[in-house]
């Protein structure tokens, strides 16, 4: 995997006549050391329709400077990006190409802008010599390499203040205070590429977004949001970032659930095959996710036990058991993301978003069509909850509660999709159903944990070890499940309050 660093920086407008103020007067800065002038030559790459730029990604091949090579930047927050670096080469390195696959698909990546910069660098140091930040005055010349603006040029000067690795962001605030006092203001563009595209390309209509007015508009907006989430999380999954697999799996489930909920708005002949593929993708993403959740739950209970109650090689057995159940899915997930089936799914989702298979109900007002869809899912949930509460504690109730949990998840997603149109009533409904789903989910996690603990106890006994600790943990999970079952009627009463449903219709 490419080298990665977290880039935290701020940009400011300047002119050729702008002079840096005395930044040693910024809090925490002891001295400023001039590093000299560096010539940088960067060619930025994208698809012809600028798909990367549309998502605020930048891909460049740069010569000059200490870090020449290929750089790929992903936005994290305002002024914060993750920068991945690969050594200089003629062709785009494969690790970076893989991270762009969900956005690029079959499109060609081509040079779009060339930026040549004369960079004058100053290092801001603390009194012990620690690097606090790097301040650069960049004189930039941009040239458009493709598209309608091909050959168009632009030039500007800007100041860039980048925080040192592991630096305190307060330094940036202190430096900005000095710059503002000198009349230097923050830049309007978030990156050099964004400014270059704006100044060398044709004018764009930034107000071209249509307002959602029909039920179909709102459903499609939610669908497009989930599709965009899957595409956005693809590189994060490849980079093995925390919780990325789980979030991508949730997006696939939200999308699949939406197709079912809004079957009167979107034609099932189109959405059902997509739902089947989304189910496949969620299953692939979940191969090790469920085991991770189980490991964390049991491991947390083991660590909480006093030493006198931890008898036998408990931790070692838990590690061995977990390892035996893992599928090596890290490699498998990457193979799935690199596969044609996944790529075809993304293309099909894009096709649906571009040319949606709308049914007549899609033209109805959202205040009419969306509550009906949400309430249909609620009725299914109510039937499953009644069925679950009819059973005495035991395996049949466990199964019924698990089915109710799945219905609660779907009703929750239905409320989420309707929230932009229905406002606070949908928000309140979703919040109550989410609380119910949480109780049902924790109960199901306990059911799964007890099955695992029983298996571990049997294995320990067969190996001549004491099963005492496993039995103790089983009892804890049993008590946790009983607590959730006692809690359930009250949580369901709040989620099934008739006022919630009545408000959805108003």
Per run of 10 residues, the mean pLDDT along the chain (length 506 residues) is 88 93 95 96 96 96 94 94 96 96 95 97 96 97 91 96 94 96 93 94 60 90 96 94 92 97 96 97 86 91 96 94 79 92 97 95 93 96 96 93 97 96 96 98 96 96 96 97 96 97 90
Q: Which pLDDT does position 92 carry in this prediction?
A: 96
Which contacts of 56-61 are long-range, i.e. CB under 8 A and separated by 24 or more positions? Answer: 56/190, 56/191, 56/194, 57/100, 57/103, 58/191, 58/193, 59/92, 59/96, 59/100, 59/109, 60/115, 60/193, 61/88
Cα gap 310→301, rounded to integer Å: 11
Q: Which two tokens stand for residue 365?
A: 């007002």
Cα end-to-end distance, the chain, whole Å: 53
Contact between 55 and 36 (Cβ < 8 Å): no
Q: How deeply is 468 buried, as exposed, middle or buried, from its count of CB atoms within 10 A (0-12, 13-18, 19+)?
A: middle
Residue 66, pLDDT score = 87
The residue extents of the domains of the chain are 3-200, 216-288+327-363, 289-326+365-506
Fold of 3-200: Hypothetical Protein Pfu-838710-001 (2.40.320)
3-state secondary structure 279-344: HHHHHHHCCCHHHHHHHHHHHHHHHHCCHHHCCCCHHHHHHHHHHHHCCCHHHHHHHHHHCHHHHH
Helix (H) or strand (E) holding 101: helix 94-104
Would the pTM of this model clear 0.85, i.e. be above it? yes
SS3 track for 419-450: HHHHCHHHHHHHHHHHHHHHHHHHHHHHHHHH
Q: Take residue 355 and report the two structure tokens written for it.
A: 């040319």
Question: CA 307, CA 453: separation in Å to the nearest integer?
Answer: 19
Domain 216-288+327-363 coded CATH 1.20.120: yes
pLDDT of 330 reads 76
Q: What is the pLDDT of residues 183-197, one digit of tens each?
A: 999 999 989 999 999
What's the rounded Cα separation, in Å, for the pair 427 and 412? 10
Give me the pLDDT at residue 203, please.
Answer: 63
> In angstroms, what is the C-alpha Rg of the chain?
28
How far apart are the C-alpha atoms of 170 and 215, rounded to whole Å? 47
CA pair distance 483, 400, nearest whole angstrom: 17
Compute the distance between CA of residue 394 and CA of residue 482 in angstroms, rounded to an integer. Answer: 10
Q: What is the rounded CA–CA span in Å between residue 317 and residue 464? A: 13
**CB neighbours of residue 313 within 10 Å:** 15
d(CA 72, CA 57): 7
């Amino acid at each position: 995997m490419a080298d990665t660093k977290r880039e935290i920086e701020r940009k400011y407008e300047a002119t050729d006549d702008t002079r840096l103020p005395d930044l040693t007067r910024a809090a925490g800065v002891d001295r400023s050391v001039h590093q000299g002038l560096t010539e940088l030559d960067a060619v930025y790459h994208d698809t012809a329709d600028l798909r990367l730029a549309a998502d605020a990604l930048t891909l460049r091949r740069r010569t000059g400077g200490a870090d020449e090579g290929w750089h790929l930047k992903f936005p994290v927050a305002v002024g914060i990006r993750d920068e991945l670096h690969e050594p200089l080469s003629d062709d785009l390195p494969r690790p970076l190409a893989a991270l762009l696959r969900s956005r690029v698909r079959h499109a060609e990546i081509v040079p779009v802008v060339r930026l040549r910069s004369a960079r004058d660098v100053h290092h801001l140091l603390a009194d012990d010599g620690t690097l606090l930040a790097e301040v650069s005055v960049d004189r930039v010349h941009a040239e458009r390499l493709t598209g309608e603006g091909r050959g168009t040029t632009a030039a500007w000067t800007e100041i860039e203040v980048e925080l040192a690795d592991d630096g305190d962001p307060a330094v940036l605030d202190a430096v900005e205070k000095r710059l503002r006092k000198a009349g230097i203001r923050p830049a309007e563009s978030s990156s050099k590429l964004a400014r270059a595209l704006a100044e060398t390309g044709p004018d764009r209509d930034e107000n071209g977004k249509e307002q959602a007015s029909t039920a179909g508009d709102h459903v499609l907006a939610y669908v497009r949001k989930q599709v965009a989430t899957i595409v956005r999380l693809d590189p994060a999954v490849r980079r093995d970032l925390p919780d990325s697999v789980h979030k991508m799996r949730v997006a696939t489930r939200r999308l699949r659930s939406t197709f079912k909920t809004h079957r009167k708005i979107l034609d099932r002949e189109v959405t059902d095959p997509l739902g089947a593929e989304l189910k496949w993708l969620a299953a692939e993403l979940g191969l090790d996710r469920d085991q991770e959740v189980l490991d964390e739950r049991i491991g947390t209970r083991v660590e909480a036990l006093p030493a006198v109650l931890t008898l036998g090689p408990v931790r070692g057995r838990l590690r061995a058991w977990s390892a035996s159940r893992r599928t090596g899915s890290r490699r498998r997930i990457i193979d799935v993301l690199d596969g044609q089936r996944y790529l075809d799914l993304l293309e099909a989702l894009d096709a649906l978003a571009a040319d949606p298979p709308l049914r007549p109900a899609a033209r109805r007002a959202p205040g009419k069509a969306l509550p009906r869809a949400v309430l249909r899912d609620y009725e299914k949930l109510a039937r499953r909850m009644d069925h679950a509460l009819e059973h005495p504690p035991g395996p049949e109730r466990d199964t019924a509660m698990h089915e109710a949990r799945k219905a609660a998840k779907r009703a929750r997603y239905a409320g989420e999709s309707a929230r932009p149109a229905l406002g606070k009533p949908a928000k309140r409904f979703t919040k109550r159903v989410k609380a119910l789903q949480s109780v049902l989910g924790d109960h199901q996690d306990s059911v799964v944990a007890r099955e695992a603990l029983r298996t571990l106890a049997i294995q320990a006994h067969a190996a001549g070890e004491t099963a005492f600790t496993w039995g103790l943990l089983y009892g804890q999970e049993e008590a946790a499940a009983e607590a959730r079952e006692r809690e359930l009627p009250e949580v369901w009463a709040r989620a099934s309050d008739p006022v919630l449903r009545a408000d959805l219709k108003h």
